Structure 1
Amino acid sequence: MMKKEYAGLHAALVTPYTETGEVNYRELKKLVRRLIAEGIDGFYVGGSTAETFLLTESERKGILEAVLEENNGEKLVVSHVGAISTRQAVDFAQHAEAAGADAVSAISPFYYKFTQREIEDYYLEIMAGSGLPMFVYNFPNLSGFALTEPFLERLKSSSRLAGIKFTSSDMFQLERIKARNPGLTVWNGFDEMLLSGLAAGADGGVGSTYNCLLPLVRGVYDRFRAGDPARALAFQRRANEAIEVICRHGVFASVKKLLEYSGIESHGCRRPFSPLSPEGEAELRRVYETHLAR
């Protein structure tokens, strides 16, 4: 497997909808083009932020194809292929390879209480089923499964294991994983902790708010890499002022509303997500005018 450069910032893309609730591929492509112009390093497609488990199989595949078409080889494209069913996840991975994605990622199978061995086999079968590098999506708060060293050691038996999307506040574990596995790429997953993740050894980040806060997030990453932690912290604090409001009113709906203020039609989230309250919209408008309006 040819080693690619995976460091940097990768937007966990939202899914814009039309007024009638269909996927709006035109606005999705507009968002991809804007983020490229703002300096994104790559795209994480079809993950939690995309409301992936509220999408049909054809929508998940169509979204990836639209992103790849607009990206046209410019930036890294990672396709999230996670599913409860191994067979379905392998099918998504094979589609991603055929469509031209650079790598795949997968959340661990959830809902049923799968054993560690069953989850290990799930990842190994996905990696065996396509020729793409794999980023394990570690998100214990939602999946119910937390990455362990023995688990990681077994996955390393596959040459296709490229890294980890580490969506956890356990910076000690992040540092230990990176220290013991310097050849693996580790992406920080919680946007409000990007600077903490970088300090612990993360190679970059994947984030929901990168869709709308990229100039601030870029400041965190670039200033840290330049050896200026004080300026990096200043950017993180500015980003966190916005993230605090975003989290208060629902991350996905809030990110989409901020995008709408800047000209990307999104039309909220799919049910059972609730629409934003008038108070939430007003507070997000203030965030936009304070931090994002140009």
Structure 2
Amino acid sequence: MALPAPLHGVIPPVCTPLDPRGGIDTASLARLVNHLLDGGVHGLFALGSTSEVAYLTDAQRGTALEAVIKAADGRVPVLAGVIDTTTPRVLDHARTAAALGADALVATAPFYTRTHPREIAAHFRHLRTAVDLPLFAYDIPVAVHSKLSPSLVQELAEDGTLAGLKDSSGDEGSLRRLLTALGGRTARRTGPAPAFSVLTGSELTVDAALLAGADGVVPGIGNVDPAAYVRLCAAARAGDWEQAAAEQERLVALFSLVDVGPETDMGRSSSALGAFKAALHLLGIINHNTTAFPQRPLSEAAVAEVGRRLTAAGLLTRGG
């Protein structure tokens, strides 16, 4: 389906449910997509970091993306992550995504080797030329070890290479500089609709990003409570910043469940992704809370703590 210009609202990075042996649980994935759509989301980002894309084989990527596209059934756009180390590998994923029916692509800068900004620009331009789908840049320096500068993003926006940016850099100053360079909040809100979409991945400061002129959010915990982010974005679009802040503060409290796994036992990715999946399992949306190997599973005590925080957020009744 055609993307709105700009793409806006809530576009969650869809978790990838796995069975106990690590295979893609397509039935659970279809239920999750419907849960997100019932929450009112405006798009779906398959095969992102929250989808555990880095842990999946190429075949598993294809299975997961196909399941998301089938379950979405054209109701919202599906953005496909085509994240990999080098341009030829990313291009293979992009061609697969296009053949499966994705509506847009999401790519990081190349990584593993050190890459110059001119090489990064050439990477994005080559992808956009080779596969005729809207292309979003994914700025996540913690994973790829290079930061997309506001000037580079602006250049690629203005020449039509990029349709948008998912900013997961955590650099709020850089995001504000980019939004200002793209016209600032007033121009983006009151002028002609910009073709370029700015989506924040910093899910704890969405109200601030929207106030600055961002178009939407790609929230990992939006898998668990998509409706809350939809309410937040609706309040912001209506100019009700007090209500937007109230929704954001509730989501900050809920987000604390990502820390239930002790740092002495597991990495932060294992804890966060394990918590998202534990929450979805407790809510009856997915069959198992399995995460991809070698991430460590949450303990029973940690899963119980996830349940308590879901209850505190009003998402789970006591006793399940």
> Which TM-score band (shorter chain)?
over 0.9
Contact 2:307 2:316 in 1 (8 A): no
Contact 1:14 1:211 in 2 (8 A): yes
> Aligned to 1:78, what secondary structure does the other structure show?
strand
**Which amino acid letter does the alignment assign opposite residue 281 of structure 1?**
V
Report what 2:299 is aligned to: 277
Contact 2:210 2:216 in 1 (8 A): yes
By how many angstroms is 1:17 displaced?
0.7
Which range moved further: 32-41 or 170-179?
A: 170-179
Report what 1:245 is aligned to: 257
Choose the corresponding residue for 1:235, options 224, 229, 247.
Answer: 247
Render the CA deviation track for 1:208-228: whole Å, top value 9, x for unaligned: 111002122222211111211
Contact 2:163 2:196 in 1 (8 A): yes
Render the CA deviation track for 1:235-285: whole Å, top value 9, x for unaligned: 111111110222453211100000001112233211221111233212111
**Which amino acid letter does the alignment assign opposite residue 216 of structure 1?**
A
Contact 1:16 1:24 in 2 (8 A): yes
1:66 aligns with 2:88: no
> Aligned to 2:20, what secondary structure does the other structure show?
coil
Report what 1:30 is aligned to: 31
Distance in 2 (CA, whole Å) between partners of 1:2 and 1:204 is 14
Contact 2:207 2:244 in 1 (8 A): yes
* Runs of 4+ residues deviating >6 angstroms: none
By how many angstroms is 1:57 displaced?
0.6
Distance in 1 (CA, whole Å) between partners of 2:44 and 2:156 is 24
Q: How does 1:1-294 map to 2 (within 5 A)?
A: 4-156=5-157, 158-181=159-182, 182-249=194-261, 250-263=271-284, 264-291=286-313, 292-293=315-316
Render the CA deviation track for 1:88-134: whole Å, top value 9, x for unaligned: 11111122222221110112222222222222222111111100011
Which range moved further: 65-74 or 104-113?
A: 104-113
Distance in 1 (CA, whole Å) between partners of 2:151 and 2:312 is 46
> Aligned to 1:164, what secondary structure does the other structure show?
strand
| Identical aligned residues as a percent | 29
> Aligned to 2:232, what secondary structure does the other structure show?
helix
Runs of 5+ unmatched residues, structure 2: 183-193, 262-270
Render the CA deviation track for 1:49-96: whole Å, top value 9, x for unaligned: 111111011111121111111111100110011210211111111222
Contact 2:139 2:169 in 1 (8 A): yes
Shift of the 41–153 alpha-carbon distance from structure 1 to 2, 3 Å rule, reads closer
Contact 1:93 1:129 in 2 (8 A): no
Distance in 1 (CA, whole Å) between partners of 2:6 and 2:158 is 21
* Higher fraction of strand: 1
Shift of the 2–279 alpha-carbon distance from structure 1 to 2, 3 Å rule, reads closer
Contact 1:124 1:158 in 2 (8 A): no
Shift of the 133–211 alpha-carbon distance from structure 1 to 2, 3 Å rule, reads same
By how many angstroms is 1:151 displaced?
2.2
By how many angstroms is 1:289 displaced?
1.3
Contact 1:204 1:221 in 2 (8 A): yes
> Aligned to 2:45, what secondary structure does the other structure show?
strand
Shift of the 151–37 alpha-carbon distance from structure 1 to 2, 3 Å rule, reads same
TM-score by length of 1: 0.94
Distance in 1 (CA, whole Å) between partners of 2:5 and 2:213 is 18
Shift of the 76–247 alpha-carbon distance from structure 1 to 2, 3 Å rule, reads farther
**Which amino acid letter does the alignment assign opposite residue 39 of structure 1?**
G
> Aligned to 2:248, what secondary structure does the other structure show?
helix
Contact 2:279 2:307 in 1 (8 A): yes
Distance in 1 (CA, whole Å) between partners of 2:178 and 2:144 is 19
> Aligned to 1:79, what secondary structure does the other structure show?
strand
Shift of the 2–51 alpha-carbon distance from structure 1 to 2, 3 Å rule, reads closer
**Which amino acid letter does the alignment assign opposite residue 114 of structure 1?**
T
**Which amino acid letter does the alignment assign opposite residue 239 of structure 2?**
G
Distance in 1 (CA, whole Å) between partners of 2:217 and 2:113 is 29
**Which amino acid letter does the alignment assign opposite residue 316 of structure 2?**
A
> Aligned to 1:191, what secondary structure does the other structure show?
coil
RMSD of aligned alpha carbons: 1.8
